[in-house]
Amino acid sequence: MDEILAAFTEDAHDLIEAMESGLLALEEGDCDPDTLNAVFRAAHTIKGDAGIVDLVHIEKFAHVLENYLDQLRNGALQVSRPLVTLLLGGCDHIKALFADVVAGRMEPGSDLIDAGAALSAALRTLVDGTPAAVAPTSPQNAPAATAAATATDIPLSDCWHITVRFGADTFRNGMDPLDFLRFLGSKGEVVRTTTWIDRIPAADDMDPESCYLGFEIHLHSRAAKEEIEKVFDFVRDACELTVLPPGSRVGDYIQTIVDLPEEAMRLGEILVKSDALTRADLDRGLELLRAAEAAAPDTAVAPHLGQILVERQMVQPEIVEAAAVKQQQISARKAEEARQIRVQTEKLDQLIDLVGEMVVSSAAANLLAQKSRRSDLMEANSGLARLVERMREFSLQLRMVQIGETFNRFRRVVRDMARDMNRDIDLVIRGGETELDKSVVEKIGDPLMHLIRNALDHGIEPAARRAALGKPAAGRIELNAYHETGGIVIEVADDGAGLDKERIFAKALERGLVQADQVLSDQEIFDLIFVAGFSTAEKVTNISGRGVGMDVVRSNISALRGSVEVQTQPGLGSRFVIRLPLTMAIIDGFLVGVGRACYVIPLDMVVECMEFRGAASDSHYLNLRGEVLPFLRLRELFGADGTRPVRENVVVVKSGKAKAGIVVDALLGEFQTVIKPLATIFRHLRGVAGSTILGTGDVALILDVPALMTLANAGETRAAAPPSAAIQP
């Protein structure tokens, strides 16, 4: 049961996110019926899954939401901001109920019960009445077949006819046939139910744990055939199920289902659902198709439903083509889902760890092969290295996920905060298909949250002030992601007031962070907002003002071996540019030597390598073909033993748009680097991002290039001097 609950809560998390995304899209004006249907299906699936694992309280509350979503689908309710707000509150309540289940509490506390009742009451008040949930008529026992009809005037010819015979192991699998009938009632009105018990054997032969039940059901509903069939998904493989559309004799449709492929039937349903074809025309077309197949059973090319409908002028050719395209899309989506499997993150992490050990072992084997000078051993090791490289690439791709899922979570955040602040704010998302390592995606959420909250509270002005400045009343926040030189760039931008550097400097002066006569560049002033406890807010609110958010942004991004840059224009807005590596596990590195130590520079940040001929004055600038670049010596930075060699080399590195030089003793070539985290005692070291193990077994430090570039620009390891050193290729 624990495993079942774990799988259930994991699936439910994805379903709730789908509900939230769909509801927000509806509120923003999405008129696609598929969006509303997706929200309804998510609520229905949550309800059905909860019933299967006996979480009755979640099942009942999900059923409440499902009823209102069904009214939206049927046109009885219209999408409105208050209704979406309450439905989103329902999603939050289901999350809270799931959190209780994860914590081991299978029954809700009184606070959750009261919260659910309050939400239900608010929904009833909003729509002026509770939608009646139609329960199916309880089947009555009879010798063979009995029928029970509801007090309704709906003719049976307008109903779906559902035939279901449950498998013998239904009870043993923990299923209750009546639960499926109750779930079916959420799709519409169950007009008539007939129970078949003729399969029950004699008393001596009957197994009390076996199921012998079957039902004939007439359902009045606007739902599509596929949605009705999904009610029985959990027993689909162990039951006999037939779903026939309304509008024709049951016998005709039974024969049609037997004779025709499912795809033809689905095409007809799409045409009817899109109002391109009436139900009567579909019935007539199916009869003609059956007659054509009967007349020419040996024909090589089977007749097609769409072709017959066009020939009889029942529907236009372009409509059939459009329906066929949609049918192909449905089939392709289902095929794609069938090809995917869900793997636990822990197993992927173990795979990456093993691949990392293979990379280290391969480097050691390569070193031994080189020392042996045996050509056959070197050739075999070269083939092994190629295989390890390919395995590394494919294993890392397994952990790549799209950042769009993380971006979409902020739609709800922006909506709720904008409502609380009485502002109208649009969130624009681009680059959601950009992929990066799952571990990076999981850790970038908090920094992005703080940046968005900061933009909402500090950046975007109130509507009245925006109107006075000639700006649109609705503020705008942008989230964008794209690849750049082997890494990923994430941008958070707003069209607000921008950063006020005079106010930032005054606040820093008040806190003693700067001196009154100190001269700082604009970038240095803007970087002050990342100091712990720094805030320019006049008062503390539930959104900001405590000076902890931006500090978290920089520290978390630094922990990911990334950097954050501030770009701002007064009155026009601000843009925070975050640069991150694609993966935190294995990278391509460039190995350099200083004294007896080795260091690794991420290869995607290396621009070029050249011989370095520095002047005796040891100035900290390089003249690179007319371009002046700052540089630093690793020998001086890390206090390496020994004397400086006669010939040194410089590695030109780039982070973002900035360049700098790193002077080293020797260039040792490319190296596959397995990143090992530093112990806590060493994490304060500037310029070091991690460590790795070489083929010799020695440890090499991985350099933090953005931090080194900051040191190079500050000239912390040497005195400033005019540019007099030159580098030559």
Shared domain check, 366 and 333 = no
β-bridge partners, 613: 726
Residue 483 forms part of a structural domain? yes
According to the model, what pLDDT value does residue 2 have? 61
Does residue 154 sit in the same domain as residue 300?
yes
Cβ atoms of residues 42 and 22 within 8 Å: yes
139 is a domain residue:
no
C-alpha dist (Å) from residue 380 to 359, 365, 370, 377, 383: 15, 10, 12, 5, 5
Q: Residue 11 sits in a domain of what CATH number?
A: 1.20.120.160
Q: With respect to residue 138, please indicate whether it lies within any of the assigned structural domains.
A: no
Amino acid at site 10: E
Residue 537 is predicted with a pLDDT of 59
Between 71 and 713, residue with greater pLDDT: 71
Q: What is the pTM of this model?
A: 0.58
Q: Between residues 39 and 543, which one has the greater pLDDT?
A: 39
Q: Is residue 656 part of a domain?
A: yes
Which residue has better confidence, 272 or 251? Answer: 272
Rounded-to-10 torsion of CA 316, 317, 323, 327: 150
pLDDT at 130: 43
| Residue 563 C-beta-side C-alpha neighbours within 13 Å | 19
Q: Are residues 499 and 423 in the same domain?
A: yes
Reply yes or no on whether the pLDDT at 337 is more than 70. no
Q: Where are the alpha helices (DSSP H) in 578-691?
A: 634-637
**393-447: per-residue pLDDT in tens?**
788 778 788 888 888 888 888 888 888 888 888 889 998 888 888 878 888 888 8
Which of 95, 127, 159 delimits the end of a domain?
Answer: 127
Confidence of residue 339 (pLDDT cuts 50, 70, 90): low
DSSP 136: P
How many distinct helices (H) and strands (E) make up the chain? 22, 23
590-644 per-position pLDDT tens digit: 999 888 888 998 888 888 998 887 644 456 787 888 888 888 888 888 888 778 8
Look at residues 82, 101, 127 and tell me which one is the last residue of a structural domain. Answer: 127
At 723 the pLDDT is 39
Residue 686 binned pLDDT confidence (cut-offs 50, 70, 90): confident
Residue 581 and residue 696 in contact, taking contact as beta carbons nearer than 8 Å: no
CB 455 within 8 A of CB 476: no
Report the candidate in 495, 453, 500 with the shortest Cα–Cα distance to residue 470. 495
Which three-class secondary structure string do you get for 81-105? HHHHHHHHHHHHHHHHHHHHHHCCC
What is the mean pLDDT of the segment spanning 562-573? Answer: 86
- Length of the chain in terms of residues written: 729
| Beta strands 597-602 and 699-703, pairing class | parallel
Same-domain status, 611 and 657 = yes
pLDDT of residue 478: 92
Contact call for residues 167 and 239 (beta carbons, < 8 A): yes
Per-residue pLDDT band for 28 (boundaries 50, 70, 90) equals confident
In a domain, 325, yes or no: yes
How does strand 621-624 pair with strand 627-633?
Answer: antiparallel
Q: Which domain holds residue 163?
A: 145-339
Q: Which helix (H) or strand (E) holds 372?
A: helix 345-372
Pair 561, 674: CB distance under 8 Å:
no
DSSP 193-219: EEEE-TT---TTT--TTS---EEEEEE
Per the structure, the count of domains in the chain is: 5
Asked if 698 contacts 598 with a C-beta cutoff of 8 angstroms, the reply is yes
CB burial of residue 497 (10 Å; 0-12, 13-18, 19+): buried
Q: Does the pLDDT at position 583 exceed 80? A: no
Output the average pLDDT for the chain: 75
Same domain, 426 and 546: yes
Shared-domain flag, residues 272 and 352: no
Query: According to the model, what pLDDT value does residue 493 have?
Result: 92
Is the residue at 71 inside a domain? yes
Four-residue CA torsion sign, 19, 21, 24, 30: negative
What is the arithmetic mean of pLDDT over 673-688? 73
pLDDT digits (tens, 9 = 90+) for 138-165: 333 333 333 343 334 566 557 777 878 8
How far apart are alpha carbons 87 and 61 in whole angstroms? 11
- Round to whole Å and give the CA distance between 705 and 486: 14
Q: What is the mean pLDDT of residues 495-517?
A: 84
- 186 lies in the same domain as 325: yes
Mark whether 566 and 642 lie in a shared domain. Answer: no
Domain finish residue from 63, 97, 127: 127
Select from 690, 479, 456, 707 the least CA-distant residue to 587: 690
> pLDDT (tens digit, 9 = 90+) per residue, 75-133?
888 888 888 888 999 999 998 888 888 777 878 888 888 888 888 888 888 876 544 33
Strands 160-166 and 658-664: unpaired
Say what the pLDDT of residue 293 is. Answer: 57
Tokens, residue 263: 């795809």
Lowest mean pLDDT among 258-272, 521-535, 601-615: 258-272
Instruction: State what percent of residues in the chain have pLDDT above 70.
Output: 74
| pLDDT mean over 56-60 | 83
Q: Please indicate, yes or no, if residue 334 is contained in any of the structural domains.
A: yes
In 3D space, the residue among 543, 550, 574 whose CA is nearest the CA of residue 421 turns out to be 543
Please report the pLDDT score of residue 498 as a whole number: 86
For residue 695, pLDDT beyond 60: yes
Residue 258 has pLDDT above 70, yes or no: no
CB 215 within 8 A of CB 177: yes
CB atoms within 10 A of CB 515: 10
In this prediction, residue 262 carries a pLDDT of: 38
Q: At residue 727, what is the residue type?
A: I
Question: Is the same domain home to 502 and 648?
Answer: no
Average pLDDT, integer, range 343-351: 79
* DSSP of 352-363: HHHHHHHHHHHH
Name the percent of the chain lying above pLDDT 90.
Answer: 2
Q: Tell me, what CATH number does 537's domain have?
A: 3.30.565.10
For residue 589, give the DSSP letter. E
pLDDT for res 310: 57
* Residue 363 pLDDT > 60: yes
Which of 279 and 706 is assigned the larger pLDDT? 706
CA dist 469 and 683 (Å) reads 47
In the three-class reduction of DSSP (H, G, I as helix; E, B as strand; rest coil), residue 487 is classed as: strand
Are residues 593 and 555 part of one domain? no
- 132 within domain boundaries: no
pLDDT at 259 over 50: no
Token pair, residue 155, equals 């003719």
**480, pLDDT greater than 90:** yes
Domain identity same for 332 and 350: no
Whole-angstrom distance, CA of residue 213 vs CA of residue 146 = 12
**Do 590 and 576 lie in a common domain?**
no
Cα–Cα distance between 574 and 495 in angstroms, integer? 7
What is the mean pLDDT of the segment spanning 469-475? 87
Cα–Cα distances in angstroms (integers) from residue 206 to residues 181, 209, 239, 561, 679, in the given order: 24, 9, 19, 68, 68
For the chain, what is the radius of gyration of the CA atoms?
A: 34
332-336, 369-373, 544-548: least confident range: 544-548
Beta bridge pairs of residue 712 = none
Q: How far is CA 690 from the centre of its chain?
A: 28
pLDDT in tens, 175-197: 888 888 888 887 777 877 777 66
